[in-house]
């Protein structure tokens, strides 16, 4: 795998974390495109991240919401 791809992956994670997200899973896939005539590899990055939000009153949302799974 190209070191430039790994550097780009780290840059993406840093940008996401700088916005207050916590990266929980990451997958980088490198491949040669079957649709392009060039031999240059391409990469696809899938990032899963989470970010807790508080409600407008400022509490953490631990109410009896019908949408909350206990």
Taking CA atoms, 4 is separated from 1, 8, 15, 50, in Å, by 9, 6, 17, 26
Do 27 and 45 touch, CB atoms closer than 8 A? yes
Tell me which of 4 and 32 has the higher pLDDT: 4
Residue 30 pLDDT grade (very low, low, confident, very high; cuts 50, 70, 90): confident
Does pLDDT of 22 surpass 90?
yes
pLDDT tens, residue by residue, 34-67: 776 677 788 899 999 999 988 766 555 556 777 7
Do 67 and 54 touch, CB atoms closer than 8 A? no
The region, left, alpha or beta by phi > 0 then psi within -120 to 50, assigned to residue 9 is alpha
Q: Given this model, what pLDDT does residue 58 score?
A: 56
């Amino acid at each position: 795998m190209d070191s430039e791809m790994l550097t780009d992956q780290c840059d993406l994670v840093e940008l996401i974390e700088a916005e207050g997200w916590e990266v929980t899973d990451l997958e980088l896939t490198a491949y040669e495109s079957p649709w392009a005539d060039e031999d240059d590899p391409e990469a696809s990055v899938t990032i899963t991240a989470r970010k807790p939000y508080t409600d407008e009153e400022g509490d953490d949302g631990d109410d009896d919401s019908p949408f909350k799974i206990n």
